[in-house]
Amino acid sequence: GVPLQAVGLLYQQGYFRQALDGDGNQLAFYPFNDPTQIPVVPVRTEDGEWLRISLEFPGRTLQLRAWRAQVGRISLYLLDSNDPMNSPADRGITGELYGGGAERRLQQEMVLGIGGYKLLQALGQEPEVCHLNEGHAAFSILERVRSYMRKENTDFGTALAATRAGNLFTTHTPVEAGFDRFSPALIERYLGRWASELNISMAQLLAMGCSHSNVSEEPFNMAWLAIHGSGFVNGVSRLHGKVSRHLFLPLFPRWPEKEVPVGHVTNGVLVSSWDSPESDRLWTEACGKERWREGLQSIGEAMLKVSATDLWEMRSRNRQRLIAWIREQHALNQPATNLLDPNALTLGFARRFATYKRPNLLLKDKQRLARLLTSTDNPVQLVIAGKAHPRDLDGQAMIREWIQFIHEFQLQSRIVFLEDYDLLMASYLVEGIDLWINTPRRPWEACGTSGMKVLVNGCLNLSELDGWWAEAWHADVGWALGDGQEHDADTAWDSHEADCLYDLLEQQVIPEFYQRNAHGIPEDWIGHMRNSMAKLTPVYSSNRMVRQYTEEYYLPMARAVRQRCAGNLAQAKAITAWKATLEQHWPSIHFGNLKTTSDESSYYFGSSPNGVGRLS
């Protein structure tokens, strides 16, 4: 029920579609997503014309078409440059996600940030709070300032001071290389016009994308722009908040790291998108139909009371449905009946094949893994899926390594590598898998979300203590890998962790799954399931996340923007004047005759214990 709308790009080819050849080489395909075949409609103006947004580019005006997708109560607006009015090159701006070079990327980010904000204005909207999902959207800060300057007839500094309080920047990467950077020359070519419209110099505009040090040599960093233009900044898990305070330290020189103003809101998933029909039935019986619309406290308690029989039946049906689906998918390639066992412990690993996620950690000792997978007493099987970026050759080599392992050890009935991982496939996987494995190199998984999707279905997690799992893990909800420390890309440590992973599987996971009571139910496993479902599902849901953003950010921010704008921008003007005064007198600012006194717990500064301030 939070009034919210979203803006993005309509990618004509999306990311890419994956196929694998017989040797495990990844093939990339780029079929055209015909907008008339996907659930979007053109946005129309009052007189029925298709709404177009125009954007000034060097030597030309780019035309953007606007589409709308209705997602529940939320409108998602998508911009698209594939308009016959644009040049062939410009028509491809919204072609591929993660394709092209720096210039294409800059064009996409201008379309998203500047075009996106213009679109909202064309729809007659002026959002109080703008939530920037990653630095990609940060140009909206400049367009928001520009439109505010016009409306209030004020200068850049005052408009920034007023609107900045209404921008929230959520950072998603734990590595500095993840921030987009552009050369000052490229920025000047594309944004020179914006500098003059904002009535600031190019140097001032470039400074928005720089840390405080040597402005002239730095590339323009979108994360720095986002921080300079936002009142609030957050990371996406507790650990990622900490990592981000470190990454953003250059903007806060000489600050104690823990005081760098970056908070965190751990991500959550929309539970109702990921539960299977069987899980939905079980949760409805336990917690009612409206469970995800109300407070979350009572949900966990009700779940703790569900019987072992009901939980085990749900788990078994979920797994059987996944395996039936996989057999159907594979029916053309091989006799489907001996492909996977509907009653065997099923491990899953599905995510992008990026090296930091170590998708081949399980392959460190191939003999040991093969032994584990060919056991006849306690059968174990593995479902894998994931794409590597078309330019990431290391990631593609890891896919090949899996395919070759399957061939070499004749494991075709025990391991399935599913091609072309996407949301639909993810929905089957997170329903049916018993144990979801994640092996990122700490702290490079900012949050991770697929492990959250499996919770509602009673699947358990075995994961590196990184991202969300570093705060969610407890011995009664699943298994943890690693020592909670960073080891960088140390191959000796990788081998050690691989050994720990095999040990966990051999000594804990597999015996627990196959330890059955008189009714054939694995009681300890069910105990883990019940705790994981009851204690983690509500917490790692988007219900909790949206509530947290609303209460900790959106509402206070909306109040702050109103305050700054009230009384003919009195507060915004005061802030700008104060900054100008500081700047003007900076060289002569010094500490006066500072006196401190102390008692048992505090230091007092100023002349007396009742003086100016107290530090505990």
Whole-number minimum distance, CB 561 to ligand PLP, in Å? Answer: 32
- Residue 573 has a CB neighbour count (10 Å cut-off) of 18
Nearer to ligand PLP by Cβ, of 177 and 423: the residue is: 423
Nearer to ligand PLP by Cβ, of 139 and 421: the residue is: 421
Nearer to ligand PLP by Cβ, of 93 and 383: the residue is: 383
Nearer to ligand PLP by Cβ, of 172 and 614: the residue is: 172
DSSP 559-590: HHHHHHHHHHHHHHHHHHHHHHHHHHHGGG--
Whole-number minimum distance, CB 509 to ligand PLP, in Å? Answer: 19
CB 64 within 8 A of CB 55: yes
Nearer to ligand PLP by Cβ, of 181 and 357: the residue is: 357
Residue 28 pairs in a beta bridge with 18
CB 361 within 8 A of CB 405: no
Considering only residues 130 through 149, tell me which ones interact with ligand PLP, judged by CB under 6 A: none
Nearer to ligand PLP by Cβ, of 29 and 255: the residue is: 29
Whole-number minimum distance, CB 448 to ligand PLP, in Å? Answer: 4
Considering only residues 431 through 460, tell me which ones interact with ligand PLP, judged by CB under 6 A: 448-450, 453
Q: Distance between CA 255 and CA 202 in Å, rounded?
A: 28
H-helix or E-strand containing 311? helix 308-330
CB 251 within 8 A of CB 225: no
CB 393 within 8 A of CB 354: no
Chain CA centroid to CA 206, Å: 27
Binding mask 347-366 for ligand PLP (x = CB under 6 A): ----x---------------
42: tokens are: 């053109």
Q: Is residue 383 a contact residue for ligand PLP (CB under 6 A)?
A: no
Name, in order, each residue with C-beta under 8 angstroms of 539's C-beta and a sequence gap of 6 or more.
268, 296, 472
Whole-number minimum distance, CB 447 to ligand PLP, in Å? Answer: 7
Interhelix angle 491-503/366-373, nearest 10 degrees: 20
Nearer to ligand PLP by Cβ, of 95 and 268: the residue is: 268
Number of residues that bind ligand PLP (CB under 6 A): 9
Q: Is residue 11 a contact residue for ligand PLP (CB under 6 A)?
A: no
Nearer to ligand PLP by Cβ, of 140 and 234: the residue is: 234
Nearer to ligand PLP by Cβ, of 115 and 451: the residue is: 451
Nearer to ligand PLP by Cβ, of 339 and 454: the residue is: 454
Considering only residues 551 through 590, tell me which ones interact with ligand PLP, judged by CB under 6 A: none
The pair phi, psi for residue 132, each rounded to 5°, is: -90, 110
Considering only residues 238 through 277, tell me which ones interact with ligand PLP, judged by CB under 6 A: none
Q: Is residue 422 a contact residue for ligand PLP (CB under 6 A)?
A: yes
Name, in order, each residue with C-beta under 8 angstroms of 248's C-beta and a sequence gap of 6 or more.
223, 227, 233, 260, 262
CB 158 within 8 A of CB 569: yes
Any idea how long the chain is?
Answer: 616
Whole-number minimum distance, CB 423 to ligand PLP, in Å? Answer: 5
Q: Distance between CA 465 and CA 363 in Å, rounded?
A: 20
Whole-number minimum distance, CB 399 to ligand PLP, in Å? Answer: 15
Q: Which of 421, 428, 525, 554 binds ligand PLP (CB under 6 A)?
A: 421
Q: CB under 6 A: which stretch of 144-152, 233-241, 254-262, 420-428 binds ligand PLP?
A: 420-428
Q: Provide the residue type at 14 as one letter.
A: G
Q: Which of 423, 492, 518, 594 binds ligand PLP (CB under 6 A)?
A: 423
537: tokens are: 């599902």
Q: Which of 114, 119, 222, 426 binds ligand PLP (CB under 6 A)?
A: 426
CB 337 within 8 A of CB 327: yes
Considering only residues 47 through 86, tell me which ones interact with ligand PLP, judged by CB under 6 A: none
The pair phi, psi for residue 67, each rounded to 5°, is: -120, 160
CA nearest 575: which of 585, 563, 587, 586? Answer: 563
Whole-number minimum distance, CB 95 to ligand PLP, in Å? Answer: 20
Residues that bind ligand PLP (CB under 6 A): 351, 421-423, 426, 448-450, 453
